[in-house]
Amino acid sequence: QQPVQSPQAVILREGEDAVINCSSSKALYSVHWYRQKHGEAPVFLMILLKGGEQKGHDKISASFNEKKQQSSLYLTASQLSYSGTYFCGLRAPPSSGSARQLTFGSGTQLTVLP
Amino acid sequence: GAVVSQHPSWVICKSGTSVKIECRSLDFQATTMFWYRQFPKQSLMLMATSNEGSKATYEQGVEKDKFLINHASLTLSTLTVTSAHPEDSSFYICSAREDNYGYTFGSGTRLTVV
């Protein structure tokens, strides 16, 4: 079952903050975040492996709430280069039959305006 | 970092012909690779899991006789779209996972069947 991402789209001005949420109805092992520019392949942003883990790079960070089966991606002081579609990819626990594959959320289209 | 090379980047073919897409892990070995299809403004949908030395595992609704997958070595997986039709036109992306990194995607192949 596909993870649910919200919002579906967001438009903001350069320098503003944004939060993208990803939730699953199934137990999670890890959460992966990707950004995809139009016509290009997705680019890996970060992976969160443990419930409660938070991670960041530059002004993009993410959190993983294993109990709530959800993750959030935080973009602080957005730059024009942040524009793109953001996908969360969820991986099931190793004990499940589909442990090695990622199931992607529906995507969130982020547009940063000057 | 882990690099996945995918070729060709784009291909235009006539209806009824077959097209082969290659996916190579350049600096690591990948016993498992994943093939995705993405239609415009939609998320990545997993088509199949390619396993080195054994048969691929196809997702429900994906015709294994139409989308032939061969994973002959630890660094190469191929997807052949047989008897392609216009409805097969899409963006096909492979990915692989290297132990120390998240899932890395190839650059994608845009297939247009005319």
pLDDT digits (tens, 9 = 90+) for B15-53: 999 999 999 999 888 888 999 999 988 999 999 998 888
Q: Which of these, A47, A79, A8, lies nearest to B43 by C-alpha position? A: A8
- Most confident range (mean pLDDT) of A30-34, A79-83, A95-99 is A79-83
% of chain A with per-residue pLDDT over 90: 52
Confidence of residue A89 (pLDDT cuts 50, 70, 90): very high
- State the best of A2, A101, A104 to mutate against chain B, taking most chain B CBs within 10 Å: A101
Interval A30-51: pLDDT, tens: 899 999 998 888 988 888 886 6
What is the pLDDT at residue A99? 57
Residue A42 sits at the chain B interface (C-beta within 8 Å): yes
Confidence of residue B100 (pLDDT cuts 50, 70, 90): low
In 10 A of CB A81, how many CB atoms?
A: 9
What is the pLDDT at residue A97? 66
Average pLDDT value for residue range A5-26: 95
A29 pLDDT exceeds 60? yes
Shortest distance, CA A101 to any CA of chain B (angstroms): 7
Q: Are B4 and B34 in contact (CB under 8 A)?
A: no
CB contact under 8 A, A44 and B34: no
Which among A43, A46, A104 has CB closest to B44?
A104
Higher pLDDT, A52 or B3: B3
Shortest distance, CA B66 to any CA of chain A (angstroms): 21
% of chain B with per-residue pLDDT over 90: 68
Shortest distance, CA A13 to any CA of chain B (angstroms): 22
Residue A96 sits at the chain B interface (C-beta within 8 Å): no
Angle at CA B44, nearest 5°, toward B42 and B70?
140
- Chain A partners of B42 at a C-beta cutoff of 8 Å? 107
CB contact under 8 A, B106 and A2: no
Percentage helix, strand, coil, to 5, in chain B?
A: 5, 55, 45
